[in-house]
Every structure is written in C-alpha cells, then in structure tokens.
Structure 1
Amino acid sequence: MSKGPGLFSDIGKKAKDLLTKDYLSDHKFSVSTYSESGVALTTSTVKKAGYSSGDVAAQYIYKNTSADLKVDTENYFHPHASLTAAVGHNQAPQIDLTVTLGTSTFALGAEAGYETTSGKLTKYTAGITVTKPDSSISVILGNKGDTITASYVHYMDELKKSAAVGEIARKFSTNENTITVGGSYAIDPLTLVKLKLNNHGSLGAVLQHEVIRKSFVTISSEFDTKALEKTPKFGASLILKP
C-alpha cells in the first residue's frame, strides 16, 4: 500500500525533487557524521562564481525537541553563527488530512504564516495529492493565491528510480505559464541520469553515481536552448555519509 504525505511540505515534493534536486550550478563537497546519541555533524564547502564559502552545522534531536548550530565562513572569512531551537510544533499552523482507499491515497494540506505583533497573514498555501503505487498527482495553490502548480509523476520501476514527470505552473499576476517536463533513468543500481526542459528553453541534465553506500558524486549542466551563445552552467557535488 502506498503512503501519503505526512506533512504539508511533502505535497508535490516528488515532482519537485525530480525537477530541481541535484541540478547544480556550483561545486560542493559535503561530509556528514551521525552518533547514536542524536547528534549529527555536517561540514560543507561550496565554490560558486569564483567565490568560496564553507559551513559547519551540528544538530541535536531528542524526541520532539531539536537544537541547531551553524557557523558559516564567507570567502573573506567573515564568520557568523546562529543558534535555533524548535520544541514540539511548527512556527506556521498546518492542517493535514490523509485518506487511503484501496491502493490510492488522498492527502490534503494547508499552511499559514502570520506576524505575531499584528496577527496579519504573511503567507497561506494549500495543496492536494493523490498517490498510487506507480504514480502521483499534486495541485498546490501558493504565494497567497497568486500561483497554482499542477504536477504528475509516473514511476517506471518498483524502486521508483526511473520516472517521468510533468509540471504546469501559472502566475496569475503576470499571466505567465511555465511548463516543465523531465524524468530520471537508472542506468544501473548505482548510476542515475536526470533530464528536464521547460517552455522557456532551459535544458538541464544530471549524472549521479553512488561511489559507496550513501555517498554520491553528482555532475550537472544547464543551458538555454534559445540562446546557445550563452555559456552553459556546470556544477559538481561530492557528498560523503557514513
């Protein structure tokens, strides 16, 4: 039986990951470590447009309480640190409802944010997802009702590594439509290829290989098919996890 989203942020996530995740325009190196006590430590280095930056992040999770510490170092070594803690609930109110009928799961979600001083809404979003064992369709109304996005994902294998995806997004304030199609294909159990193309001429490709368990090398590129004289964007990432 398929499972529906557990949080509102999961609505439409399958299509979003296929169309955006791993499409890089920078160079990134990341190493993560975990301990049984609930402490996770991640160090990352990113080089983009000739500038380098790095960060070290630590997270401690115990039941429904979490604490995060992150120290960033810019190219000119201007460090700054931030400490955040979350206890038991999200800052923005959320409503989630999941209903399963046979092999289909229907999930509804809504999220709102507000200013504590004035009580005014700063954002409100709603969405619905229908999930089947081999497909998923989602509709999200966002940006205070200014945009609507519909997406469809169809999986080609049981592991859900090979898939086709389509997305239509409309912004009402500008009457602009963006249509994106793409997908992923598992060349072998360790190697994945992803492609995407939208109606504005943006074409992207990703090649990802799992060098060892949970550790990935990713190479991506993106270029404008309507302006081939422009220099394509290239990115690379190495992520090492225990």
Structure 2
Amino acid sequence: MGSSPAPYSEIGRKAKDLLTKDYSFDHKFTLSMLSSTGLGLTATGLKSEQIFVGDISTLYRSGKTVVDVKIDTYSNVSTKVTLNDVFPGTKVACSFKIPDHKSGKLDVQYLHPHAAIDSSIGLNPTPHLELAAAIGNMDLSLGGEIGFDTASASFTKYNAGVSFNNPDYSVALMLIDKGQTVKASYIHSLPLNGTTVAAEMIHRLSSYENSFTIGSSHAIDPLTTLKTRFSDKGKVAMLLQHEWRPKSQITFSAQHDLKAVNVTPKFGLGLALKP
C-alpha cells in the first residue's frame, strides 16, 4: 500500500508537527524499555505548576496483535487491542477504559491503493460515530470527516481538506469547525542542510478574524535540532533538542509573550530515556 494516500488525519500534519510537536512548557520525564520478547514498558511523569501526574503503560506485540495497557495516577486503566491485516490492508482496534463502562470503542482502518478509510463507533447503547476518508495517492489527496452523536441525533463535526505533497514541500487547505474556519498550511525543506520552514494561517468566516503562525527547524548537527516559532499573537518560542545517547533525548523549550510585558517567560524541560 505504498502508493495509498495518507489517512485524512495526516492532511496538514507535517506543518502542524513542526509548529507544535515537542514544545512543552512543563517538566516531563519518560522512560521506555523494550524486551526481545516484544514486551515494552513506558513510564511517564509530568509536572505542571504544582500538579504532578503520571502513567505507566505496557505494550505487547505477538504476530499481528498488539496489546496496550495504561494505568494513570487516578487509577484509570486504558486498554487497546489492535489486530493488523485482519484482511489485506485492514486494521481493527478495540479500546476501553475502566471504570468508565461507556468508553468502549471499535476502530477500523482500510487502506486501498487509491483510498484510506477510518471509521469509529462507540460500544454503548447511544454510540458516537465517526468516519474519515481520503482518496488520491501519495502526491495528491482529497478527504473529509464527519462525526455523529446518536444520543442527540446531531453532527458533532464535518470537515474537509486537500493536500499536495512533494519530496521538498507540502501544501494543505482545510475547511474545519463545521465549515466555519479555513486553515492553510505549508512546509518546505530548504536547500540548506537540515533546514525546514513552515507556516499556518487560519481565517474564521463568521468573524473575519485571521491568525498565523510561522516556524522553522534546523539540524545543528546530526544529534541536535533547533526549532523556532512566532505567532501573530506576539508569542515567540524556541526549542532545543539533543540526542545525548541513542534514542534518548533532552528537550528544552521556552516561550515569551511580547505583548504581555508583565508576564514572565515560560520554560519547559523534557527528558526521554530509552536504555
């Protein structure tokens, strides 16, 4: 399925990741371990101001089956069982949370050489239904998504988008928020070694309000990445990420609001360990 279009959720994802991924202004620690038997263990801790939350998750792979179980600090247990290639190009996942007995959900993904379809249904008497589809190929894709709540008999979302992808750049145009907002994004890898720039613009049709965010990513060396971000709201952010050992990273983030002179800058530190 190498020529299949990416799922609808991937439209505009590259630019969004450059502008938002790994930016965090809290203190986060992640420890991941993977055994030769296919059993993985991940522990995560997050301190935000004076609040500390954490979770422990285990991931087990056996053939085409993946079982993921997560327990957080509030004693909530989340379980997800994924079956790959149930039929050619089809993936099925069932997830639920304890003690929330209404959280059960069944997800089905189907990849065709010219289409990608994702569907989701809640496993309860009044389920929430979602369907997303994209058609095209790796270079050009057109898609949309809808969400329907059977309890209120109303649509919770309906969005559409189109994207054009090239090895050096990607462009996406989306109509979101039930047709009330237009979002355009662009990402381009420059001839400079390891430098990528991205921009995102949002226009709200109801209020005629515009907003934009621009950012860049530069590989200082094979192990160190510097990212910057600026928005029309006057917020400037930077991120420095260094892989100090194989698959282990330390990330430093900072943000300052130029329009709020009495607000102190925000700082974040993230540490990810993979022995």
TM-score by length of 2: 0.76
* Matching residue of 1:130: 164
Correspondences of 1:149-164 after superposition (within 5 Å): 149-156=183-190, 161-164=194-197
Instruction: Tell me, in whole angstroms, the C-alpha distance in 1 between the residues paired with 2:60 and 2:181.
Output: 36
1:208·1:219 contact (CA, 8 Å) conserved in 2? yes
* Matching residue of 1:41: 41
Give deviations 1:56-91, integer Å, cap 9, x for gaps. 122345677654322111xxxx43223344246031
Tell me, what secondary structure is at the counterpart of 1:228? Answer: coil
* Matching residue of 2:7: 7
Higher mean C-alpha deviation, range 226-235 or range 173-182 = 173-182
* Matching residue of 1:213: 246
Instruction: Tell me, in whole angstroms, the C-alpha distance in 1 between the residues paired with 2:270 and 2:209.
Output: 33
* Matching residue of 1:199: 232
Give deviations 1:141-160, integer Å, cap 9, x for gaps. 1121122110111102598x
Unaligned runs of 5+ in 2: 82-92, 95-106, 109-118, 121-129
Quick check: 1:233 aligned with 2:266?
yes
* Matching residue of 2:131: 93
Tell me, what secondary structure is at the counterpart of 2:18? Answer: helix
Correspondences of 1:60-79 after superposition (within 5 Å): 60=60, 66-73=66-73, 78-79=74-75
Shift of 1:22: 1.5
Shift of 1:172: 2.4
1:148 equivalent among 179, 182, 191: 182
* Matching residue of 1:83: 79
* Matching residue of 2:126: none
1:30·1:240 contact (CA, 8 Å) conserved in 2? yes
Tell me, what secondary structure is at the counterpart of 2:137? Answer: strand
Instruction: Tell me, in whole angstroms, the C-alpha distance in 1 between the residues paired with 2:145 and 2:39.
Output: 29
TM-score by length of 1: 0.86
Structure 1 pair 39/124, CA: closer, same or farther in 2 (3 Å)?
farther
Shift of 1:232: 0.7
2:5·2:140 contact (CA, 8 Å) conserved in 1? no
1:71·1:81 contact (CA, 8 Å) conserved in 2? yes
Structure 1 pair 98/67, CA: closer, same or farther in 2 (3 Å)?
same
Instruction: Tell me, in whole angstroms, the C-alpha distance in 2 between the residues paired with 1:163 and 1:175.
Output: 30
Aligned-residue RMSD, C-alpha: 2.4
Number of residues of Structure 1 aligned to a counterpart in Structure 2: 232
Structure 1 pair 119/36, CA: closer, same or farther in 2 (3 Å)?
farther
* Matching residue of 2:100: none
Instruction: Tell me, in whole angstroms, the C-alpha distance in 1 between the residues paired with 2:20 and 2:59.
Output: 25
Structure 1 pair 4/190, CA: closer, same or farther in 2 (3 Å)?
farther
Higher mean C-alpha deviation, range 225-234 or range 64-73 = 64-73
Identity of matched residues, %: 39
1:8·1:111 contact (CA, 8 Å) conserved in 2? yes
Tell me, what secondary structure is at the counterpart of 1:93? Answer: strand
Instruction: Tell me, in whole angstroms, the C-alpha distance in 1 between the residues paired with 2:216 and 2:238.
Output: 10
1:4·1:131 contact (CA, 8 Å) conserved in 2? no
Unaligned runs of 5+ in 1: none
Q: Which one-letter code corresponds to 1:94 in the other structure?
A: A
